[in-house]
Amino acid sequence: MTATTEVVAPDGVRLAVRTAGDPANPTLVCLHGYPDNKGLWDGVVDRMSDRYHVVAYDTRGAGESSKPRPRRAYRLDVLEADCAAVLDAASPDRPVHLLAHDWGSIQGWHFVTGDRLRGRIASFTSISGPCLDHAGLRLRMRNRGRGQGPLPRQLLKQVGMSWYIGFFQIPFVPELVFRSVGRIVLARIGRRRPSSTRPSSAAVDDYVYGVQLYRANMIPRLLRPEERRTTVPVQVIAPTRDRYVGVPLQTQVEQWAPNLRVHTVPSGHWLPRTRPDLVAELVTAHIEG
């Protein structure tokens, strides 16, 4: 049984929420990244809704959810309040299992290492997304001469992979580019590549409004990171052919998440779309283990 509902966040933003499966079963909440929407999880939902109550929602600025304009509306603390509202509606009395990808994973790390949702998340699976505070702390450790191993090479490689983050900091220009050529580019991508290898049904608006995620959070978190830890069981699934997020950035987090399980997978960035069977298998094993 599948249903689409609407949840209102504390600041009035409306979030489109899709649920599948029996609400009596354990709840699995799925968070998509940029520039995706909840459709990213369709294959995973199909494979897991027989044994879980699966909830996927469009984060603010994406899909069918409201698209506020101010940068401050996309801060991680605000996104955490959105998730709390979804949890209140979907599973008010029991902790949920969290599955996230890309910017959804960045959010998920913020949620499981903070106080607001403490006790409400039973497990966390992260795919292709780091904790921004952990990344900032690693940079600070390196600057103070405390780092070990080949981090400089890793760092240079990651900077090259993340070139677009700097571009997104430029006022107005990314939005102008997406508005002017975005439809043409997306149409060409759709003709050249099968749907299983591109962002799921991403629209121009998903690109435009999601840029504020980078502006509201990247520089503040990387330059002024907090020491954030979690005892929640965490599973990191790191695709080895990810063009945007390197494996070390995702997996070298034992000091902040000691209850950690890591899987490296020979795949690209959009693993939930290209290998939903594998994602469902690993998430089920993590939840039940």
Using CA atoms, how far residue 57 sits from 53, 86, 260, 262, in Å, is: 13, 8, 26, 26
Neighbouring C-beta atoms of residue 3, cutoff 10 Å: 8
- Concatenated DSSP letters for the chain? -EEEEEEE-TTS-EEEEEEES-TTSPEEEEE--TT--GGGGHHHHHHHTTTSEEEEEPPTTSTTS-----GGGGSHHHHHHHHHHHHHHH-SSS-EEEEEETHHHHHHHHHHTSSTTTTTEEEEEEES---HHHHHHHHHHHHTT---SSHHHHHHHHHHHTHHHHHHTSSSHHHHHHHHHHHHHHHHHHHHS-GGGS-TT--HHHHHHHHHHHHHHHHHHHHS-------S-EEEEEETT-SSS-HHHHH--TTT-SSEEEEEES--S-HHHH-HHHHHHHHHHHHH-
Q: Which residue type sits at 19?
A: T
Neighbouring C-beta atoms of residue 170, cutoff 10 Å: 13
In this prediction, residue 133 carries a pLDDT of: 95
Low-confidence ranges of the chain (pLDDT < 70): 142-157, 159-160, 182-202
Going by DSSP bridges, is the β-strand pair 53-57/14-20 parallel, antiparallel, or unpaired? antiparallel
In this prediction, residue 192 carries a pLDDT of: 43
pTM: 0.90
Cβ(232)–Cβ(259) below 8 Å: yes
Neighbouring C-beta atoms of residue 5, cutoff 10 Å: 14
Number of domains making up the chain:
1
The pair of structure tokens assigned to 53 is 């109550």
| Of 246, 242, 247, the residue nearest 275 (C-alpha) | 242
In this prediction, residue 3 carries a pLDDT of: 86
In this prediction, residue 153 carries a pLDDT of: 64
Integer Cα distance of 242 and 5 in angstroms: 33
Integer Cα distance of 62 and 60 in angstroms: 6
Query: Could you tell me the CATH number of the domain that includes residue 30?
Result: 3.40.50.1820
Range of the domain at 71: 2-288
In this prediction, residue 152 carries a pLDDT of: 59
The pair of structure tokens assigned to 174 is 């990314």
Q: Residue written as tokens 């505070």?
A: 133
Q: Which residue type sits at 97?
A: H
Integer Cα distance of 105 and 128 in angstroms: 7
Could you tell me the end-to-end alpha-carbon distance of the chain, in angstroms, rounded to an integer? Answer: 26
Q: State pLDDT tens for residues 116-165.
A: 999 999 999 999 999 999 999 987 775 555 444 445 566 556 766 778 88
